[in-house]
Structure 1
Amino acid sequence: MDPVQRIPANQAVPFDDVNIAASDTPLQDAITALAGEHAAGIRDHLDPIGELAGSAEAREHWHLANENPPVHHPVDRFGRRIDEISFHPSWHWLMERGVGFGLTAEPWTSDHPAAHLRRAAGFYTWGQAEQGHMCPITMTYAVVPALRADAQLAQQWTPGLSSRTYDFGLRAPQEKAGLLAGMGMTEKQGGSDLRVNSTIAKSTNVPGEYRLTGHKWFTSAAMNDVFLVLAQTDAGSTCFVVPRVLPDGTRNPITIVRLKDKLGNKSNASSELEFDDTWAVRLGEEGRGIRTIIDMVSATRMDCILGSASIMRKAFAEAAWHARHRSAFGARLIDQPAMVGVLADLAIESEAGMLAGLRLAAAVDRPDDEHEQGLRRIGLALEKYWVCKRTPMMVGEALECLGGNGYAEESGMPLLFRESPLNSIWEGSGNVNALDVLRALSRESGTLEAWRDEVGTVRGQDARLDAAVDEVLRRLADPADAEASARWIASRMAAILQGSLLIRYSTPAVADAFCASRLGGEWAGTFGTMPSGLALREIVDRAQPAV
């Protein structure tokens, strides 16, 4: 008998063995719009990623990696300090494929003209398989632009970081076929206020080499091969390159105090580290550490946007799939007006986040374009704030579409829900990013102009968007209450940017619904409350997995 026929009556068939890239029409449309002549090649690159990410095998590894979290081994059987972390085989399965798809630092060494856009589309797609392991993948991607502050260090580390080989274990870096990177910034007493870090760096007799003493409160993926760390010198906060294993094969003295017991992200080994005479090499100038590491933070923020968009797409796809196969009160859920309204709202939120992330990734491919770099600077802060903050409520609504089935762990929706707040916290929580928007607008020339020019490309095409732009510019012209209004400014500017992108690159139905609800005020604040007269069924049909 066909296994599908054994599904109990009125239960959805499993949402497995679906190519989640090929069946994602909004993603395919975005690639067409943003990649131009390179779109076909990017689709070919995405096809095997989407096929594997949507497989029953990937779903099993998603659950197993989170049901069997990493384990810290402080000492070996002889009592010698080793500070190693062991992972379930499913973690290694996920990592091997994520690295193998070129989602780490490969774009920085590629001559492909849309390398970062291609990688972003792959990151968004593969992230739907499991989010925890994307953290070390993100940090490995993000470390390269910061390493370029020192040409010799960049030359030393970049080849291993851009490798497509996953080579787990603590060994001398030069002996490994592939390397992974991490970062250590926050401390107990300061959190996001990096200026009060207390880790001390003392210079040795060798130029550029230091010894670190101190702690780091949150350092994910402590089994990675190299970390960028902030520590204090006489000149102030300075950035350092800290390997786990030294070139001679001996362990760098780094103590893992404990692994964090977190709300979600269980598969990923977030830890507290202690440095005690730990060897390090200075990266960039003394006293300029925050400025040096900010290039890494910018890249990780982009992945926060893409990761949240990935979670939203996974949540929407599961909800739409369930509604397509489940009936109640005499009709399929997906045919009932109230459900259509909810799913259309979720689809709009998902597509807007995805499109914003891919648009900012495309800007990375144009490093010499002044507008693109200005847009990237302001856009990352805006969309990191907005997309990541929208994700938990969106995922909660998608979970509710499955009813009690969605509240059960086996559905995977609780995993998504617990994961959904993380990206809003990582790399600066809401207030930090909202205030960063103000900082960029006031201190970095060209950022406001870049935003205004980008959203101005659709001036006159939607009166609601035009009015929203004018309102923001009026508020920015009076900086008296700017800090108190930081969240309003960030929210509004981010939504306007998304609306302009949807007008340019999506369908009229999606753009109209977004502008009516997010910009025009015709929305009651919860999903499924958009005004009447919109093409909601068209939006749902386009966004649901096309199989």
Structure 2
Amino acid sequence: MPELTHEVFNQPEPLVDRNLFALHRPLQDGLRFNAPGLDTAPLSALGRLAGSAEMQMHARLANTHVPELHTHDRFGRRIDEVEFHPSYHVLMNAAVQAGLHGTPWASSLPSAAGRGGGHAHVLRAAGFMLFTELEPAILCPISMTYAVTPALRSNTGVFRDWAPLLTSRSYDPRPVPWRDKAGVTMGMGMTEKQGGSDVRANTTRAEPLGQDEWGARYAVTGHKWFFSAPMCDAFLVLAQTASGLSCLFLPRVLPDGTRNAIRIQRLKDKLGNKANASSEVEFQDATAWLVGEQGRGVPQILEMGTMTRLDCALGTSGLMRQALSLALNHTSQRMAFGKRLVEQPLMRNVLADLALESEASTALALRLARAFDRREDAHEAALARLLTPIAKFWICKRGAHFAQEAMECLGGNGYVEEGGQGVMARIYREMPLNSIWEGAGNIMALDLLRALRKADAAAALAQELAPVRGAHPALDRMAAGLPTRVEEMASEVEARRLAQDVALTVQAALLRQTAPDAVFDAFCASRLGGDWGQAFGTLSARTDFDGILQRAWPH
């Protein structure tokens, strides 16, 4: 009997061993606009690493072999440890070495010299997007470390001892006291079963224990319903004190080397984000120290939320770019009906539309990061307040739709989990997270209303749009009506629509300053001018498809 076999053909080669930064023209142009003179050598190095076949293997393994909870050791002692696949630690080490955690807060230190200077947050934002293309799930503890580091300044003793380790580029996962470590990470524990986003409903309580070198010490008893990355070295948690909801610093290992009373009940079985451990925990007289003033926990958490929401916008933008690159890679090699898929008119429309969305998201996310670098400037501070909920709402809201359309470009190959094609399925499962985490759409709309109550919000928006006045009729019409809408917005009912329109208008303004005419004109005509349908792939036949696709090409 002859051997039954067949030759495999018309299947695309995997998208590996490429420099993600060198091939990302929208990101490069966005950096030139937001951080002129920035040394991008570290980003090029990170782009090579993140695009390598080896690191993509680690990303696959970290998601395939998910974290495992061990509440007790073999002798029955309580340990509350989560075991990760070795690939998880490889990825964490790479992210920390790239400075994606707390390093922007130490930009004046020798460890950060020459790595960004006055553009430290923009540099970090670009790196965060590039790393997201490789593996987003492990960036949860990285993002939380970034967000909580400045909050610790409210506790002089803790900040003195922990800040150098939080900005260190050394990854050290050992469960040992802070003084024995080369670097640390931090998490947050805010939400509870009964409250979710309404943290004022928290029931966890903190009883005073006296004072020591880290200030007011408390015994914390209660629970947290979402406690991500429980193997971090310390956490900021919310608990009720005599003066109300307060923020406390709660280390996993106490200064004397004993384990703190953090009891991990179970790990969450999530739709995506598999490499990251999210848990439910209980505190049984766990030791913690006050950060900031008693009763001021909510303002403290809102300030930290601003930074994690930036990361949600950055992360979704990175995932969009990865999904677009996979779609372009597949369609440029796959033949159907006598042509490559990318040559088919309808497919070109879909791909170009996705490319517009991806570039606009990248532009807005980078612009928000620039505001973080210049918070001492009144305009930038006002813009940060205004754009944070807008960028988080709109970019993340578009992510799931984007991923579905990109997956459809691969057909059935995009829906399977195995091999290189399985990356698209992983993206699809990951995309909804950033829209939900750190405040879903309605929470962002409410935050937008809070930002609008600041008298300088409308003025900041007008100033941001001024350089592009007259660039496109549709942009002019939208921009002309926004200041009045911003000033008069008093009801929650239309807050989502306002967030959408401000996001689209600012994206268009940024594209005028960072992108070629093909991208800007098509974006304005479709998103602002109404020459568009209800799904991706409905751009006008007058669109410069060649110009848009050549700019987005990942090869």
**TM-score bracket relative to the smaller structure:** over 0.9
> What is the SS of the residue equivalent to 1:460?
coil
Secondary structure of 1:257's counterpart equals strand
TM-score (norm 1): 0.96
Instruction: Quote how far apart the aligned CAs of 1:470 are.
Output: 2.8
In the TM superposition, what is the alpha-carbon distance from 1:68 to its structure 2 partner?
0.7
Q: Is the 8 A contact 1:7 1:13 kept in 2?
A: no
- Provide the residue aligned with 1:508 in structure 2: 517
1:275-300 deviation per Cα after TM superposition (whole angstroms, max 9, x unaligned):
11011100001111111222211111
CA contact (8 A) 2:188 2:236 kept: yes
Query: By how many angstroms is 1:477 displaced?
Result: 4.8
Amino-acid identity (%): 50
Q: Match of 1:208, SS?
A: strand
- Number of the residue aligned with 2:392: 384
Given that 2:155 and 2:290 are in contact with CA atoms closer than 8 Å, whether structure 1 keeps it comes out as no
1:404 paired to 2:408: no
Instruction: Write the distance in 2 (CA, Å) between the matches of 1:152 and 1:467.
Output: 53
- Aligned mate of 1:440, from 428, 448, 451: 451
The offset of 1:169, in angstroms, is: 2.0
Structure 2 distance, partners of 1:150, 1:227, is 14
Q: Report the CA distance between 1:458 and its aligned residue.
A: 1.1
Counterpart for residue 114 of structure 2: none
Q: Distance in 2 between matches of 1:105 and 1:125?
A: 17
SS of equivalent to 1:421 = helix
In the alignment, the residues of structure 1 paired with residue 99 and residue 37 of structure 2 have an alpha-carbon distance, to the nearest angstrom, of: 21
SS of residue paired to 2:536: coil
Among 532, 538, 548, the residue aligned to 1:523? 532
Alignment match, 1:173: 178
Please tell me whether the aligned partners of residues 65 and 90 of structure 1 are also in contact (alpha carbons under 8 angstroms).
Answer: yes
1:146/1:294 contact within 8 Å kept: no
Q: Which residue of 2 aligns with 1:185?
A: 190
**How far apart, CA to CA, are the structure 2 residues paired with 1:157 and 1:445?**
37
Aligned-pair distance for 1:331?
1.1
Residue-by-residue CA offset, 1:485-535 (whole Å, 9 max, x unaligned): 111111111111111111111111111111111111111120010122121
Aligned to 1:114: 119
Using the TM superposition, give the Cα deviation of residue 103 of structure 1 relative to its aligned residue in structure 2, in angstroms: 0.9
2:544 matched residue in structure 1: 535
| Alignment of 1:415 onto 2:409 | no
Encode CA deviations 1:45-78: one digit per residue, 9 max, x unaligned: 1111111111111221111111111000001111
- CA drift of 1:220 comes to 0.6
Is the counterpart of residue 354 in structure 1 residue 362 in structure 2? yes
Q: Give me the whole-angstrom Cα distance separating, in 2, the residues matched to 1:506 and 1:147.
A: 39
Aligned pair count reads 536
SS of alignment partner, residue 100 of structure 2: coil
The answer to whether the Cα contact below 8 Å between 1:18 and 1:55 also exists between their aligned partners in 2 is yes
Give the match for residue 3 of structure 1.
none
Instruction: Describe the superposition over 1:391-441 as per-residue Cα deviations: whole angstroms up to 9, x where unpaired.
Output: 000011001101111111121111000000000001100000011101110
* Partner in structure 2 of residue 458 of structure 1: 468
CA contact (8 A) 2:17 2:53 kept: yes
Contact kept? 2:177, 2:253, Cα under 8 Å: yes
Query: What's the counterpart of residue 486 of structure 1?
Result: 495
Distance 1:475 1:377 in 2: 17
Deviation of residue 464 (structure 1)?
0.6
Residue segments in structure 2 that go unaligned for 5+ positions in a row:
1-5, 109-116
CA distance in 2, matches of 1:155, 1:313: 39
Q: Which residue does 1:18 correspond to in 2?
A: 18
Instruction: Please list, as runs of the form range in 1=range in 2, the aligned pairs for 1:116-195 lying within 5 A after superposition.
Output: 116-195=121-200
**1:31 lines up with 2:41 in the alignment:** no
Offset of 1:7 from its aligned partner?
8.7
SS at match of 1:17: coil
**1:219 maps onto 2:219 in alignment:** no
Question: Is residue 67 from structure 1 mapped to residue 64 from structure 2 by the alignment?
Answer: yes
Q: Under a length normalisation based on structure 2, what TM-score does the superposition of the two structures give? A: 0.95
Superimposed CA distance per residue, residues 184-214 of structure 1 (whole angstroms, 9 cap, x where no aligned partner): 1100000000111111011112251111111
Distance 2:132 2:331 in 1: 23
Partner of 2:45: 48
Q: Specify which of 474, 498, 506 is matched with residue 507 of structure 2.
A: 498
State the superposition RMSD in angstroms.
1.3
Could you tell me whether the CA contact under 8 Å between 1:238 and 1:287 is conserved in 2?
yes
Q: Which amino acid aligns with 2:80?
A: D
Q: Deviations over 1:208-239 (max 9, x none)?
A: 11111110000110000010101111211110
State the partner residue of 2:371: 363
Instruction: For residues 357-403 of structure 1, give each alpha carbon's deviation from its aligned partner in whole angstroms, at most 9, with x where no partner exists.
Output: 11111111112111111111111110000000100000110011011
| Uncovered stretches (5+) of structure 1, i.e. residues with no partner | 1-5
Q: Could you tell me whether the CA contact under 8 Å between 1:312 and 1:394 is conserved in 2?
A: yes
